[in-house]
Amino acid sequence: MSATLVELPEAGVMLAHGPQAVDLLHAQLTQELRDWPADTARMAALCTPQGRMLADLLLWREADGAIALLLDSRLLDATLKRLRMFILRLQCRLDDARDQRRVFGLLEALDPDATLPGSEPAWQVRHEPALTRVRLPDAPGWRRTLLVAHGEPGIAALPRLPQGSAQEWRLAEIRAGIGHVSSATAQQFVPQMLNYEVLGAVNFQKGCYPGQEVVARTQYRGSIKRRTFRVLCGVPLGVGDEVFHSEDPGQPCGLIVGAAQAGTDAWEALAELKLAATQSGTLHLRASDGPPLQLGTLPYSLAQEA
């Protein structure tokens, strides 16, 4: 089994400290955090009151009890500022930890028929001296783990492996079906548009949080009309590119969420699309007569909304 290590400079970490840090985050995010096993990570979204995602986050508890929040580094300042607005008299604080935490992705190529005894399940967290390991959902052909280094001691503790490419990491993430909010797509999506309730990032039994009414109504009134799909293309494509449908050429039917090169003249992406646009006709990049897009598969199933 070959393995590579990829530094992820676009991943930024915040730390929430204090006895009421869970209370703050529980009240602001889509995730249940009060009943949360210490050795697991959880995905969550931060939404506007209109239910639109400002950022997506991966959360886990540090060994000292602090809560780490990982997100797109370009969204960290705005997210930190927004969350701090709600601290008020709560006994907690939020810190920018980008100088103290460096994030790496461990990619292990898998034989499709191989059995991995003892392999940790997705979202399992393991603390080592100066290093945190977070198992991520696998992608077809790859086992994925985040390694979060705590300062220089953490860098020294990283496994000595060949350096992989950020392009390969992005491709594995696309094949795992996990889309992320970026500066180009902030406030574009209700969580269900990125399949976040399927991925376990939305809890519908918890109390209120900004946007909760919209997110719940979308779920229970059968109004999910857009989803994220994996698409294949023969030309480069980028985050924020619009997608058009042959049967409705006058307006875009979707948006590229994440993209990566998969080979010579081969690109893959996650695209948020109108469900109706996936059922007939053809999809095209940037214009109704643009390069064609083909629908690919995801490693999980989506409900068949009307």
For residue range 231-287, list pLDDT tens digits in order: 999 999 999 999 999 999 999 999 999 999 999 999 999 999 999 999 999 999 999
Topology of domain 191-295, per CATH? Answer: Elongation Factor Tu (Ef-tu); domain 3 (2.40.30)
> What integer pLDDT is reported at residue 306 of this predicted model?
43
Q: Tell me which CATH code domain 3-175 carries.
A: 3.30.1360.120
> What integer pLDDT is reported at residue 207 of this predicted model?
84
> What integer pLDDT is reported at residue 113 of this predicted model?
58
| Residues of the chain scoring pLDDT < 50 | 117, 306
For residue range 103-126, list pLDDT tens digits in order: 999 999 987 655 554 568 999 999
Q: What HEC string does the chain produce?
A: CCEEEEECCCEEEEEEECCCHHHHHHHHECCCCCCCCCCECEEEEEECCCCCEEEEEEEEECCCCCEEEEEEHHHHHHHHHHHHCCCCCCCCEEEECCCCEEEEEEEEECCCCCCCCCCCCCCEEEEECCEEEEECCCECCEEEEEEEEEHHHHHHHCCCCCECCHHHHHHHHHHCCCCCCCCCCCCCCCHHHHCCCCCCCCCCCCCCCCCHHHHHHHHHCCCCCEEEEEEEECCCCCCCCEEEECCEEEEEEEEEEEEEEEECCEEEEEEEEEHHHHCCCCEEECCCCCCEEEECCCCCCCCCCC
Every domain of the chain with CATH number 2.40.30.160 lies at: 191-295
pTM of the model: 0.94
Every domain of the chain with CATH number 3.30.1360.120 lies at: 3-175
> What integer pLDDT is reported at residue 111 of this predicted model?
73
